[in-house]
Amino acid sequence: MIRFHNGVSVIDDTYNSNPQASCTRPHAQSAGEGFRRRIVVAGEMLELGELGPQLHRDCGSQIASLGIDRLIGVRGHAAQIVEGAIQNGMKQEQAIFFETPDEAAASLIEEAASGDLILVKGSRGVRTERVIEALREEFEAPTS
């Protein structure tokens, strides 16, 4: 957990991603109390074969059922995560897809506010750690 000086909290889970971890990790986030909004940044899950699109949609559907306030999909099949969330009742304006982690980071920096809890879930192959790096560059207090 990273807590920035502006009141934004981030869970950095950018080392690896698979359907079980990507779909269950937001459960812990949704149970956290004392946060204004819960945001999930979900990178594409790699090496899933022909089941990939459906596994991504299923994950999005599960995320939507948790009452997550904002979903940001990153790269490739993560568009199916967003689609699955919308199909399961998440409003279209709550779910967005970006092809690159840098685009996702720029959007997130624009909207992140005090009281937000952000989960960044992805794999090294998708480079979701770039989202964390950008948040650190923007929100960490300078050292004196």
Q: For 29-62, how does the pLDDT look when each residue is reduced to its tens digit (9 = 90+)?
A: 555 668 999 999 999 988 888 988 999 999 999 9
Q: For 75-104, how does the pLDDT look when each residue is reduced to its tens digit (9 = 90+)?
A: 999 999 999 999 999 999 999 999 999 999
Q: For 101-126, how does the pLDDT look when each residue is reduced to its tens digit (9 = 90+)?
A: 999 999 999 999 999 999 999 888 99
Q: Rounded distance, CA 83 to CA 61, Å?
A: 8
**Would you say 19 and 42 are in contact if contact means Cβ atoms under 8 Å apart?**
no
Could you say which architecture CATH assigns to the domain 2-91+101-139?
Answer: Alpha-Beta Complex (3.90)
- Beta-strand relationship, 95-98 and 9-13: unpaired
**Would you say 1 and 83 are in contact if contact means Cβ atoms under 8 Å apart?**
no
For the chain, what are the domain ranges? 2-91+101-139
Q: Rounded distance, CA 131 to CA 119, Å?
A: 11
Q: At residue 143, does pLDDT exceed 70?
A: no
Q: So what's the pLDDT on residue 17?
A: 65
Please tell me whether residue 133 adopts helix, strand or coil conformation: helix
